[in-house]
């Protein structure tokens, strides 16, 4: 019997589990995929928004501003890369200027610090690659960038290090109230019991809420496509460059990532299929056109990859954080600024758990820290020498493009939450994420996964379920 | 201080090492990232290697073994499992391996022989999903030939580069069904003999002016949509065709791996993506040489070996201070129909082999070389030239005696 079961190991579920692991509680996280951070968390703009977007008085506004303030410390504790690079909302004409003035007022009302409007000359001195047509911008110095799946892996890992359990490939098919607790059943028959259930199932939060009779909201997917460029291009801009929001939406942003790449996107298309993360030619065309309007020299020839995420858009317009029935908490409709708000959402939900009658008694041995996954990658030569002396696997490079050693890959396969597949190794180490996109190193990583998990090579997957990398031995077809 | 450090123990590195030894250098070190010498040849188990060089048909491993034996006989030191992380303009090399950890070597001369990598799917921006089952042809070759695993059974190949063609045959021989090879261009970039032996002999259709426009399948690849493209290589609406398959192999180009060359401050050629070199394969940084596929992508390993002998010999002469030839500086320019030449600059008055590739298929051509005074200093007719086949000519030193510049032009008759 668990005290709390969290459904969904995205950034929201992960951060909630981590927050609750401060207390003397038995916690489990159930996740339908083979790894954490597999839904909207995996593919988004990776921005910690300052908090000027959401309308005053909404949960989005309140939790965004609070989350943004908390994030730097959380990132530090969890060993996650975070960079306060600042955001600029750029304007091209008079209509944009009005929009920017509205954002300034709204941001100030929301309590965002340091907001101001910068004019052309100063702006172009701040960002020399901006298009000549950009006239002014809202400068939000508290805007930041972070890697959302790195944050989630670290949050879940830290929760596990503090006693939480992660159950993967657990696709919830039924929830039943039995006496004082809920019994959660998975499609494959696995079962867990918990006193309090937290529904952080992203796109599927409406379906999960329906299992306890709550049909007060729906969630639909909104496609967002991105193009990621080589590290050579990471210096094109230093701020996150947003366009002024219009009737047509927030438009295409251009931003450096914490790993030094350049990211452009997202598109914004309402969908019905919650599984359709395919990219489209129209999407690519739109990204390229608008990104070039912002920064006319974005070198799309240096594209490394493109991807698509699905935002979980709730039917109310605001975050839906409710307790519709006793012992059951929804955390739904968490679209942007959900990543930014996640530490504040976790804090908010922990208070709701207490209101459900679960005593939050701080654990004396709670350890808020987790060793950074990128520590070796960014260490000095002397520090690396020391590590290699203790474990020679760190001297052996597996991924040549990103310079990732066997030691780092083995650590990803052995550290909570352990990588179980090729993409899991990629997200934890950056191996396969460089110019050759795993062309050279993926066969070696497949061997390491098979060895560490003690499974045959044919059972190694790219990303769980039926995503097998190899289908048989040769001469067996 | 090591006199000569060679980065890469594939055919280029080994051949350069042997040539340097034979020209008087004893203090040589080969740094190889893999656990064995031979580079990509180790997974090229098909034959066809060595016809020019040894007059016999060898497999890749057999060809590599000839050089590996030579390296062993001569006692040239090799560090395996060693990845070079950085080279400075002053030739300080930083590398790492399991035994030594991270270490530095000061070299007198360096030969860059890191080879090339395959262009990846990401760079192509093909719309659709991102399932398992999409590999570069060379990755699939590694699974099949070196590890003994089948990446899939129902195969479509995008791109008709040589590795793609070789893998079409390999997968077929292993029992897979190769449904089609799609090539964006109106001609194949692969060798004619590979199209014959790997596709035609197995009735595998080569669809020219075709590309993959969509990828289907969430977990494992379920199919691809292909379409015909117009002259501007844009898909033509209405020509789409869905092919169910579990595997998509990409053979869409090779890119010389010059990240280390950049860190050493070596100037690169925009067309070849390799270093700008002179006839000795010396780069813009004195004492740093480049050869093999890191310099420009070759069709045949035999030519890699020949080029690397030049680099090895030249590095030896550089180290021993033997090179007394009169210095000149003659840039070699091209007209676009000829895409590039190697060398890109001539610095000595001696007979020189110039290698080049053309941009398209041309029939009945004349290869002309002019000097800066519009004087024709070389001319040769050819029935056909194609992008997939590297060409070479020998320029006599007398031909460019008074030239300040040379222009390579292709006259189409």
Nearest to A278 among B81, B129, B139 (CB): B129
Q: What CATH number was assigned to the domain covering residues B325-413?
A: 2.60.40
Q: Is the pLDDT score of A477 beyond 50?
A: no
Distances B83 to A77, A193, B91, B106 between C-alpha atoms, Å = 33, 51, 16, 16
Distances B289 to A206, B4, B34 between C-alpha atoms, Å = 63, 10, 22
Cis amide linkage into residue B50, ω under 30° from 0:
no
Q: Own/partner pairs for B70-78, CB < 8 Å, 24+ apart?
A: B70/B14, B70/B18, B71/B14, B71/B17, B71/B18, B71/B30, B71/B37, B74/B18, B74/B21, B76/B17, B76/B18, B76/B21, B76/B28, B76/B30, B77/B28, B77/B29, B77/B30, B78/B9, B78/B29, B78/B30, B78/B32, B78/B37
Separation CA A261–CA A230 (nearest Å) = 6
Exposed, middle or buried: residue A40 (CB in 10 Å: 0-12, 13-18, 19+)?
buried
Domain B1-118+253-324 - what CATH class? alpha beta
- The reply to whether residue B101 touches residue A280, judged by beta carbons under 8 angstroms, is no
Nearest to A472 among B117, B136, B150 (CB): B150
Q: Count how many pairs of residues, chain A against chain B, have C-beta atoms within 8 Å.
A: 146
What pLDDT band is residue A176 in, cutting at 50, 70 and 90? very high
Name the nearest CA neighbour of A338 among A53, A121, A29: A53
Residues carrying CATH 3.50.50.60, chain B: 1-118+253-324, 120-252
Chain A residue with minimum CA distance to B145: A474
> Could you tell me if B234 lies within 8 Å of chain A, comparing CB atoms?
no
Query: A297 CA to chain B: closest CA distance, Å?
Result: 18
Provide DSSP, A380-421: -HHHHHHHHHH-GGGGSEEETTTTEEHHHHHHHHHSSSPP-S
Q: How many CB atoms lie within 10 A of CB A356?
A: 16
Torsion over CA: B67, B68, B70, B74 (sign): positive
Place of tokens 């504040």: A344
- The reply to whether residue A437 touches residue B142, judged by beta carbons under 8 angstroms, is no
> Could you tell me if B220 lies within 8 Å of chain A, comparing CB atoms?
yes
Separation CA B172–CA B198 (nearest Å) = 9
One CATH from 3.40.50.300, 3.65.10.10, 3.40.50.720, 3.50.50.60 for B120-252:
3.50.50.60
Beta bridge partners of B150: A472
Separation CA A92–CA B21 (nearest Å) = 65
- The reply to whether residue A474 touches residue B150, judged by beta carbons under 8 angstroms, is yes
- Best of B32, B95, B123 to substitute, by most chain A Cβ atoms within 10 angstroms, is B123
**B411 secondary structure, DSSP code:** E
Provide DSSP, B222-270: -EEEEEEB-TTSPBPTT--EEEE-SEEEE---EEE--HHHHHTT--B-T
What pLDDT band is residue A367 in, cutting at 50, 70 and 90? very high
Count the residues in chain A.
477
What pLDDT band is residue A261 in, cutting at 50, 70 and 90? very high
pLDDT value of position B121: 78
- The reply to whether residue A477 touches residue B129, judged by beta carbons under 8 angstroms, is no
**B282 secondary structure, DSSP code:** B
> Could you tell me if B153 lies within 8 Å of chain A, comparing CB atoms?
yes
Torsion over CA: B182, B185, B187, B191 (sign): negative
Q: Which residues of A touch B34 (CB under 8 A)?
A: none
Torsion over CA: A370, A372, A376, A382 (sign): negative
- 3-class SS letters over A18-82: HHHCCECCCEEEECCCCCCCCCCCCCCCCEECCCCCCCCCCHHHHHHHHHHHHHHHHHHHHCCCE
**Cβ atoms of residues B152 and A453 within 8 Å:** no
Query: Is A423 strand, coil or helix?
Result: helix
Instruction: Delineate the domains of chain A, giving CATH numbers in brackets.
Output: 1-81+145-218+315-368 (3.50.50.60), 87-141+223-302 (3.30.9.10), 381-459 (1.10.10)
Separation CA A439–CA B339 (nearest Å) = 27
Separation CA A114–CA A50 (nearest Å) = 10
Separation CA B107–CA B4 (nearest Å) = 6
> Could you tell me if B262 lies within 8 Å of chain A, comparing CB atoms?
no
pLDDT in tens, chain B (413 residues): 999 999 999 999 999 999 999 999 999 999 999 999 999 999 999 999 999 999 999 999 999 999 999 999 999 999 999 999 999 999 999 999 999 999 999 999 999 999 999 998 777 889 999 999 999 999 999 999 999 999 999 999 999 999 999 999 999 999 999 999 999 999 998 989 999 999 999 999 999 999 999 999 999 999 999 999 999 999 999 999 999 999 999 999 999 999 999 999 999 999 999 999 999 999 999 999 999 999 999 999 999 999 999 999 999 999 999 877 778 999 999 999 999 999 999 999 999 999 999 999 999 999 999 999 999 999 999 999 999 889 999 999 999 988 999 999 999 98
- Best of B10, B125, B146 to substitute, by most chain A Cβ atoms within 10 angstroms, is B125
Query: B372 CA to chain A: closest CA distance, Å?
Result: 34
pLDDT value of position A428: 96
SS3 content of chain B, % helix, strand, coil (to 5): 25, 35, 40
Chain A residue with minimum CA distance to B172: A477
Beta bridge partners of A255: A263
Find all residues with CB under 8 Å of A107, minimum gap 6, and list them: A50, A51, A52, A115, A138, A140
Tokens of A124: 């172009």
Phi, psi of A462 (to 5 degrees): -75, -45
Q: Is the pLDDT score of A210 beyond 60?
A: yes
- The reply to whether residue B150 touches residue A471, judged by beta carbons under 8 angstroms, is yes
Q: How many CB atoms lie within 10 A of CB A249?
A: 13
Exposed, middle or buried: residue A138 (CB in 10 Å: 0-12, 13-18, 19+)?
buried
In chain B, positions 289-348, which contact chain A (CB-CB < 8 Å)?
Answer: none
- The reply to whether residue A277 touches residue B129, judged by beta carbons under 8 angstroms, is yes
> Could you tell me if B173 lies within 8 Å of chain A, comparing CB atoms?
no
- The reply to whether residue A467 touches residue B246, judged by beta carbons under 8 angstroms, is no
- The reply to whether residue A470 touches residue B117, judged by beta carbons under 8 angstroms, is no
Query: Is A17 strand, coil or helix?
Result: helix
Find all residues with CB under 8 Å of B408, minimum gap 6, and list them: B332, B333, B334, B335, B338, B341, B354, B356, B367, B368, B369
**Cβ atoms of residues A136 and A118 within 8 Å:** yes
Query: A303 CA to chain B: closest CA distance, Å?
Result: 5
- Best of A287, A304, A393, A472 to substitute, by most chain B Cβ atoms within 10 angstroms, is A472
- The reply to whether residue B176 touches residue A477, judged by beta carbons under 8 angstroms, is yes
Cα A426 from chain centroid (whole Å): 14
Which sequence positions of A are flagged as catalytic? 49
- The reply to whether residue B150 touches residue A395, judged by beta carbons under 8 angstroms, is no
Place of tokens 């110095």: A141
Residues carrying CATH 2.60.40, chain B: 325-413
Q: Which residues of B touch A395 (CB under 8 A)?
A: 96-102
In chain B, positions 373-412, which contact chain A (CB-CB < 8 Å)?
Answer: none
Average pLDDT over all residues of chain A: 96
Separation CA A196–CA A392 (nearest Å) = 46
Query: What does the pLDDT average to over A455-468?
Result: 97
Separation CA A312–CA A39 (nearest Å) = 9
Q: Is the pLDDT score of A457 beyond 60?
A: yes
pLDDT value of position A476: 64
Q: Which residues of B touch A467 (CB under 8 A)?
A: 131-132, 219-220
CA atoms within 13 A on the CB side of B78: 26
> Could you tell me if B97 lies within 8 Å of chain A, comparing CB atoms?
yes
Q: Choose between B341 and A303: higher pLDDT.
A: B341
Q: Which residues of A touch B120 (CB under 8 A)?
A: 304-305, 435-439
pLDDT in tens, A63-91: 999 999 999 999 999 999 999 999 999 99
Q: How many CB atoms lie within 10 A of CB B162?
A: 24
Name the nearest CA neighbour of B352 among B404, B295, B405, B279: B279
Query: What is the reported pTM?
Result: 0.94
> Could you tell me if B233 lies within 8 Å of chain A, comparing CB atoms?
no
């Amino acid at each position: 019997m668990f005290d709390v079961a969290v459904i969904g190991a995205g950034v929201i579920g992960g951060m909630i589990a981590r927050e609750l692991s401060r207390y003397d509680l038995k916690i489990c996280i159930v996740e339908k995929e083979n790894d954490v951070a597999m839904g909207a968390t995996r593919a988004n703009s990776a921005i910690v928004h300052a908090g000027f977007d959401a309308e005053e008085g909404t949960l989005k506004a309140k939790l965004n501003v609070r989350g943004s303030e908390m994030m730097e410390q959380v990132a530090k504790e969890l060993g996650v890369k975070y960079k306060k690079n600042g955001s600029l909302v750029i304007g091209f004409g008079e209509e944009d200027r009005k929009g920017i003035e509205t954002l300034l007022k709204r941001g100030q009302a929301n309590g965002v610090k340091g907001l101001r409007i910068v004019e052309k000359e100063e702006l172009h001195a701040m960002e020399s690659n901006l298009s000549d047509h950009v006239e002014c911008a809202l400068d939000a110095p508290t805007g930041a960038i972070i890697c959302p799946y790195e944050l989630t892996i670290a949050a879940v890992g830290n929760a596990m290090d503090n006693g939480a359990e992660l159950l993967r490939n657990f696709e919830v098919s039924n929830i039943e109230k039995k006496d004082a607790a809920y019994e959660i059943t998975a499609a494959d028959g696995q079962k867990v019991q918990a006193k309090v259930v937290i529904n952080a199932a992203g796109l599927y939060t409406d379906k999960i809420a329906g299992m306890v009779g709550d049909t007060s909201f729906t969630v639909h997917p909104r496609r967002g496509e991105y193009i990621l460029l080589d590290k050579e291009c990471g210096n094109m801009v230093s701020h996150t460059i947003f366009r002024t929001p219009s009737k047509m939406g927030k438009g295409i942003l251009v931003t450096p990532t914490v790993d030094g790449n350049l990211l452009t996107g997202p598109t914004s298309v309402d969908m019905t299929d919650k599984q359709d993360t395919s990219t489209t030619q129209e999407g690519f065309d739109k990204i390229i056109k608008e990104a070039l309007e912002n920064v006319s020299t974005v070198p799309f020839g240096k594209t490394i990859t493109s991807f698509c995420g699905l935002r979980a858009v709730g039917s109310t317009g605001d975050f839906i954080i409710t307790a519709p029935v006793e012992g059951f908490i929804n955390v739904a409709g968490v679209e942007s600024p959900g990543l930014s708000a996640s530490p504040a959402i976790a804090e908010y939900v922990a208070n709701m758990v207490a209101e459900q009658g679960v005593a939050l008694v701080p654990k004396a041995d709670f350890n808020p820290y987790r060793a950074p996954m990128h520590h070796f990658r960014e260490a000095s030569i002397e520090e690396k020498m020391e590590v290699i002396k203790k474990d020679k696997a760190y001297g052996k490079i597996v991924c040549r493009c990103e310079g990732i050693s066997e030691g780092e890959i083995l650590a990803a396969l052995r550290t909570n939450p352990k990588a179980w597949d090729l993409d899991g190794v990629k997200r934890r180490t950056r191996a396969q994420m460089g110019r050759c996109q795993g062309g050279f190193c993926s066969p070696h990583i497949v061997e390491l996964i098979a060895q560490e998990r003690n499974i045959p090579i044919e059972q190694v997957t790219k990303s769980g379920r039926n995503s097998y990398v190899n289908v048989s031995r040769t001469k067996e077809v | 201080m090591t006199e000569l450090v060679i980065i890469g123990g594939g055919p280029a590195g080994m051949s350069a090492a042997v040539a340097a030894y034979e020209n008087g250098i004893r203090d040589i070190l080969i740094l190889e990232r893999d656990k064995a010498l031979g580079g990509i040849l180790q997974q090229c188990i098909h034959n066809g290697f060595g016809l020019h060089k040894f007059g016999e048909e060898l497999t890749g491993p057999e060809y590599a073994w000839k050089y590996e034996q030579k390296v062993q006989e001569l006692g040239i030191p090799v560090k395996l499992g060693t990845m070079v992380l950085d080279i400075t303009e002053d030739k300080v090399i930083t590398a790492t391996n399991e035994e030594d950890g991270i270490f530095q070597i000061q070299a007198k001369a360096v030969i860059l022989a890191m080879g090339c990598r395959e262009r990846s799917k990401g760079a192509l921006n093909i719309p659709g999903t991102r399932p398992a089952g999409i590999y570069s042809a060379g990755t699939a070759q590694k699974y099949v030939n070196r590890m003994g695993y089948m990446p899939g059974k129902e195969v479509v190949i995008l791109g008709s580069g040589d590795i793609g063609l070789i893998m079409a045959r390999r997968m077929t021989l292993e029992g897979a069904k190769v449904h089609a090879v799609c090539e964006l261009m109106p001609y194949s970039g692969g060798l004619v003999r590979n199209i014959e032996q790997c596709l035609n002999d197995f009735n595998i259709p080569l669809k020219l002016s075709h590309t993959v426009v969509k990828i289907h399948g969430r977990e494992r690849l379920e199919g691809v949509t292909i379409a015909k493209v117009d002259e501007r290589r844009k898909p033509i609406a209405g020509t789409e065709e869905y092919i169910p398959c579990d595997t998509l192999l990409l053979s869409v180009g090779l890119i010389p791996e010059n990240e280390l060359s950049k860190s050493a401050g070596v100037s690169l050629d925009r067309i070849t993506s390799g270093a700008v070199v002179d006839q000795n394969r010396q780069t813009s940084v004195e004492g740093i040489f480049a050869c093999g596929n890191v310099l420009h992508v070759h069709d045949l390993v035999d030519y890699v070996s020949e080029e690397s002998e030049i680099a090895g010999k030249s590095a030896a002469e550089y180290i021993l201070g033997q090179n007394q030839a009169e210095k000149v500086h003659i840039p070699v320019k091209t007209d676009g129909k000829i895409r590039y030449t190697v060398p890109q600059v001539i610095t000595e008055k001696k007979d020189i082999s110039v290698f080049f590739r053309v941009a398209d298929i041309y029939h009945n051509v004349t290869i002309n070389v002019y000097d800066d005074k519009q004087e024709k200093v070389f001319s040769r007719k050819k029935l056909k030239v194609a992008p997939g086949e590297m060409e070479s000519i020998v320029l006599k030193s007398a031909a460019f005696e008074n030239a300040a510049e040379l222009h390579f032009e292709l006259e189409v008759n």
